[in-house]
């Protein structure tokens, strides 16, 4: 099975369309944005990151960054877990991001990656007080399919527990846990993996929150079940309220996946992605369900500035 991730996420652009990054307090060409191999975050995974999307609206000739300040609010909060103190405020980080996107002259869908990290250059586990932040952006289309239902497998790898590495944060080293599950799924011919907690209940997909639909209601695991406190997850809650769709947060048993009326994944990278089967068991018809379609349709209207109700979530880049 071809991997849909490979061709749609990259850094190659025309020479005259040079991308930029924010590193060590200034904007530099992306190709020159380098850190030392002695950097603590590189050696030990001591960084906290965000994934932020920008969507281009061709009719309005505008690039909208989605929930930019909400992402940086979570970013600043999560940095506390690793004692990463950054001098920039949420507003300053947002302004830096818009500046580098403008300087890179993006007129396409993009992905933005900020990373707060331990910048000491040495061997040793101690968390020093040396911190820094980097931000870069690259073109990005669909990470998972927007058009066909995904096939998922339940991974043999279990989700990390809160008292090991908090799953609610985006600590870079912890994503080895998700990478192992994602690789296992693709090696076995599936699109994506679902991870269970140590007690056998459902946590989330590899890097995405998970919703099931049963009896006309959206259901998703609570954050206490070792899931990321997702921005897109929160977005789904608000969209569901506006669509008059009931939802609840509760623990989900593995067997409920097989009896669900619908399943979809959500995340900055994965957007809203419908699921057709789990462990080679068809979910309902095996196609996108009605609730998934509703949520997906209004989500893409919101992120591309096609629904004025949700303009509060958008930071325009060009027509300001």
- pLDDT level of residue 152 (50, 70, 90 thresholds): very high
pLDDT for 10: 53
* Catalytic residue status for 8: no
The Cα–Cα gap between 128 and 118 comes to: 7
Give tens-digit pLDDT for 183-205.
999 999 999 999 999 999 999 99
* Structural domains of the chain, with CATH: 20-139 (3.30.470.10), 150-303 (3.20.10.10)
Instruction: Give the pLDDT mean for 130-139.
Output: 97
Structure tokens at 2: 């071809």
Give tens-digit pLDDT for 12-30.
555 446 899 999 999 999 9
pLDDT for 5: 41
Give tens-digit pLDDT for 259-286.
999 999 999 999 999 999 999 999 999 9
Residue 292 has pLDDT above 60, yes or no: yes
Q: 254-275 burial string, b = 16+ CB within 10 Å, else e?
A: eeebeebbbbbbbbbbbbbbbb
Query: CA-CA distances (angstroms) from residue 288 to 41, 152, 242?
Result: 40, 14, 20
Of the listed 170, 244, 293, 311, which one is catalytic? 170
């Amino acid at each position: 099975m071809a991997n849909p991730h490979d061709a749609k996420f990259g850094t190659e652009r025309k020479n005259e369309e040079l991308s930029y990054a924010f590193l060590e307090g200034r904007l530099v060409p992306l190709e020159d944005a380098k850190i030392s191999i002695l950097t603590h975050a590189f050696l030990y995974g001591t960084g906290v990151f965000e994934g932020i999307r920008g969507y281009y609206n061709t009719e309005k000739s505008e690039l909208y960054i989605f929930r930019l300040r909400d992402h940086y609010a979570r970013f600043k909060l999560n940095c506390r877990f690793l004692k990463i103190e950054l001098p920039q405020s949420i507003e300053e980080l947002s302004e830096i991001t818009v500046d580098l996107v403008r300087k890179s002259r993006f007129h396409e869908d993009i992905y933005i990656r900020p990373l707060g990290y331990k910048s000491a250059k040495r061997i040793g586990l101690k968390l020093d007080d040396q911190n820094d932040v980097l931000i870069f952006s690259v073109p990005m289309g669909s990470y998972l399919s927007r058009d066909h239902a995904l096939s998922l497998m339940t991974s043999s790898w279990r989700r990390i527990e809160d008292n090991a590495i908090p799953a609610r944060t985006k600590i870079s080293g912890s994503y080895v846990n998700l990478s192992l599950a994602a690789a296992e799924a693709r090696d076995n011919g599936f699109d994506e993996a679902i991870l269970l907690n140590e007690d056998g209940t459902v946590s989330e997909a590899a890097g995405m929150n998970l919703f099931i639909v049963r009896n006309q209601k959206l259901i998703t695991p609570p954050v206490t079940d070792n899931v990321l406190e997702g921005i897109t997850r929160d977005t789904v809650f608000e969209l569901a309220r506006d669509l008059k769709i009931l939802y609840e947060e509760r623990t989900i048993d593995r067997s409920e996946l097989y009896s669900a009326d619908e399943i979809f994944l959500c995340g900055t990278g994965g957007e809203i992605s419908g699921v057709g089967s789990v462990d080679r068991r068809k979910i309902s018809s095996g196609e996108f369900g009605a609730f998934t379609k509703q949520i997906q349709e209004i989500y893409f209207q919101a992120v591309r500035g096609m629904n004025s109700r949700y303009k509060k979530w958008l930071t325009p880049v060009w027509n300001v």
